[in-house]
Amino acid sequence: MSEKNVVPVTVLSKTTWTPNLFSFTVTRPDSFKFTAGQFVRLGVNPSKLKYHQQQNSTTDKALDEDIFRAYSIVSSPFDEELEFFSIVIADGAFTSQLQHLQVGDELMLNTIPFGFLTLARYQQPLPKDLWLLATGTGLAPFLSMLQDLQTWEDYEHIILAYSARSQEELAYVEQIEQLQENFGSLVDNPAKLIFIPIVTREPMAGALTERLPKLLVDGSLQQKAGVPLDPESAHVMLCGNPEMVEDTKETLKTMGFVMNRRGEGNIAVENYW
């Protein structure tokens, strides 16, 4: 990675959703631009985190190394801060350190954005329905898209299906429920946002309970949305657990959908795991 593309950013806030899920905001470099849906590479040097400085009187060489990982951006392309959503992997070299973030800590940001999970990849004219299917932290790029006014102008229906193991792990629900009012109200004839929570390991009132591929096959997801899932009128985007992405992608193919390449096709996925 070229050093000229890496700049320091400062942690501004941190939200702990569960013991294994948290989000955080950092300063945004003045010249940094990205498209909703893209990801960046964030870096951490554990020895520079306040937590480790407080816990260790001497510097551990194993901690004094820069570690970079890919993270989708939660925030709008127009926000003054950058927000990220992270899971804690107990033995992960990166997240096991990142979970100790405190306000004022310094991270590193590679200012070149990556990824093609963007609405710009689709050719015009756009269909009327946009389906966003996410598990876990795969919600991040979709939150970014839903904070871009262009998304609300381009579609009639936006169906956001968000799956987690437990109700506790459904992060950002309050923010999702405010999106229609906060962003849809700013454009004429905005898309209608249909939010479908899915909880697979415990009951939750109003939520579906099966994995996304099964919900598509038996029609439960479409019925809950009240919108048909038709290759002629829909784009589908997938982000989250690699197994979910692969299984759902193959399920959609059996329903007549095709992968998007060179602007053609109606399934888009992100592959940075």
pLDDT at position 1 is: 45
Contact 190, 184 (CB under 8 A): yes
pLDDT at position 8 is: 95
pLDDT at position 214 is: 97
pTM to 2 decimals? 0.92
Domains by residue range for the chain, with CATH: 3-114 (2.40.30.10), 119-269 (3.40.50.80)
Say whether pLDDT at 65 is over 70: yes
Average pLDDT over residues 117-138: 89
pLDDT tens digit sequence for 174-229: 999 999 999 999 999 999 999 999 999 998 998 999 999 999 999 999 999 999 99
Buried b (16+ CB within 10 A) or exposed e, 236-273: bbbbbbeebbebbbebbeeeebeebeeeebbbbbbeee
Tokens of residue 256, six digits: 């007549």
Task: Provide the pLDDT confidence category of residue 64 given band limits of 50, 70 and 90.
Answer: low
Ramachandran angles phi, psi of 31, nearest 5°? -95, 0
Percent of the chain with pLDDT over 90: 76
